[in-house]
Amino acid sequence: MIGKHMLMIPGPTPVPERVLLAMAKHPIGHRSPEYSEIQAEVTENLKWLHQTEQDVHILAASGTGAMEAGIINFLSPGDRVLCGCNGKFGDRWAEVCEAYGLSVERITAEWGKPLDTEQFRAKLEADTDKTIKAVILTHSETSTGVLNDLETINKHVKAHGALIIVDAVTSLGAVNLPVDELGLDVVASGSQKGYMLPPGLGLVVVSPKAWTAYETAKLPRYYFDLGKYRKATAKNSSPFTPPVNLVLGLQAALQMMREEGLENIFARHQRLTQATRAAVKALGLATFAPDECASTAVTAVAPTTVEAEQIRSTMKKRFDIALAGGQDHLKGKIFRIGHLGFVGDRDILTGISALEATLIELGGDSAQSGAGVEAAAKALNRH
Ligand SMILES: *Cc1c(COP(=O)(O)O)cnc(C)c1O
């Protein structure tokens, strides 16, 4: 059947019709009063989503651009930074820092395990001369489905005084992330994940403390100079031509989020995660990340008797459902189910029953007919 594609990858995520229709409008001039009005509403709603008093800045970039902006605006060549590395994205931020000549110390954990908060504490406590300028980490590590313990790591960072720069690309909108209450200095996200939008926008919010660091930071910056965005956003404008139609989509998506409410959004993601994990286990497949640190955006699955790539290709061929594969050394070892953004109970039941049918077709010996759907349905009912 043609045209019934279903995205169950952790980005891009499904886009609601209301958002698609908003983006289908003819573009308007970005220096017009009409655009300013939209920008004002969007900024207000972004602040609500981030639970912050600070303006949230919109970049024409993917999530990586937002993170790069979050790093280069607040640091200087040779600055010592700690990077949490327990997956593809943590590694990426260490690479970005190295590309800009920062002095990077990686705090690593095995892929599939959370970062060890004690290692951060030890490094930060030992740094009595305060040479560590920033701690950089990925909240929800999309490559493995691990949610790192941001709160505890943040406490250690606060006791030290360094900046904390957070990749919240698959946690913002999926789990409670009160930016001001936690005192996070830089939080970056991207439109194609929790925002229910297509790819193309990077979003970044900056604390007053990070703006102070901005004044003396010496890394080169131009397009991603957040000072330019700060000035423009304050005037409901943008320093360069913004992706106008994506911003129209963002306006609609944020309206939908406000209608649903933050608590409901978080509860929905929690429910979908529990249903997915219960179903996967009932089907005799192993969840890659432990329950205690499960991301509410993506569940990584490590099948044993059937090959991950075979499952993915059968899901695609038979049901036109896209699942994500493993990255780097996890290629072929795991597959990943996205349940982030515009995803509801029905999507999980559909995805799980298709997975079950796939396992039956591929002859997974532990695939028990109906077990996955039953477990998912029960988990969905409990909430
Ligand atoms: C998707 C994602 C990003 C951003 O990737 P882009 O391809 O640049 O949008 C960054 N961090 C995490 C954790 C992600 O899931």
**13 CB near ligand 1 (under 6 Å):** no
In the chain, DSSP finds a helix count (H) and a strand count (E) of: 14, 14
Residue 336 counted as an annotated binding residue:
yes
Distance 334 CA to ligand 1 centre (A): 18
Distance CA 159, CA 163 (A): 11
CB 364 within 8 A of CB 333: no
**167 CB near ligand 1 (under 6 Å):** yes
Please provide the CATH number assigned to the domain covering 261-381: 3.90.1150.10
Say if residue 366's pLDDT is above 80.
no
Distance CA 269, CA 96 (A): 30
Q: What is the H or E stretch that residue 321 is in?
A: strand 321-325
Distance CA 143, CA 324 (A): 9
Say if residue 20's pLDDT is above 90.
yes
Among candidates 279, 220, 264, which has minimal Cα distance to 99?
220
Among candidates 82, 196, 96, which has minimal Cα distance to 137?
82
**190 CB near ligand 1 (under 6 Å):** yes
**224 CB near ligand 1 (under 6 Å):** no
| Confidence at 2, pLDDT banded by 50, 70, 90 | confident
* Helix 150-160 / helix 117-126 crossing angle, nearest 10 deg: 0
Q: Quick one: CA torsion of 229, 235, 239, 244, rounded to 10 degrees?
A: 110
Neighbours of 215 (CB within 10 A): 8
Q: What is the pLDDT of residues 162-205, one digit of tens each?
A: 999 999 999 999 999 999 999 999 999 999 999 999 999 999 99
Please provide the CATH number assigned to the domain covering 17-259: 3.40.640.10
Distance 71 CA to ligand 1 centre (A): 15
Q: Where in the chain is the domain with CATH 3.40.640.10?
A: 17-259
pLDDT attached to residue 317: 97
**111 CB near ligand 1 (under 6 Å):** no
Say if residue 318's pLDDT is above 90.
yes
The secondary structure of residue 178, as a DSSP letter, is: -
pLDDT attached to residue 1: 78
pLDDT attached to residue 67: 98
Among candidates 297, 287, 316, 245, which has minimal Cα distance to 24?
245
Q: What DSSP line would sit under 209-273, residue for residue?
A: HHHHHHHH--S--STT-HHHHHHHHHTT--SS---HHHHHHHHHHHHHHHHH-HHHHHHHHHHHH
Query: Considering only CA atoms, which residue is closest to atom 14 of ligand 1?
Result: 169
Q: Tell me the CA end-to-end span of the chain in Å, nearest whole number.
A: 34
**148 CB near ligand 1 (under 6 Å):** no
Q: What is the pLDDT of residues 231-277, one digit of tens each?
A: 999 999 999 999 999 999 999 999 999 999 999 999 999 999 999 99
pLDDT attached to residue 11: 96
Among candidates 292, 10, 376, which has minimal Cα distance to 171?
10
Say if residue 368's pLDDT is above 80.
no
Residue whose CB lies within 8 A of the most ligand 1 atoms, among 71, 139, 140, 169, for a mutation test = 169
Whole-number Cα distances in Å, 265 to 28, 46, 118, 261, 297: 31, 15, 31, 6, 12
Q: What is the pLDDT of residues 272-281, one digit of tens each?
A: 999 999 999 9
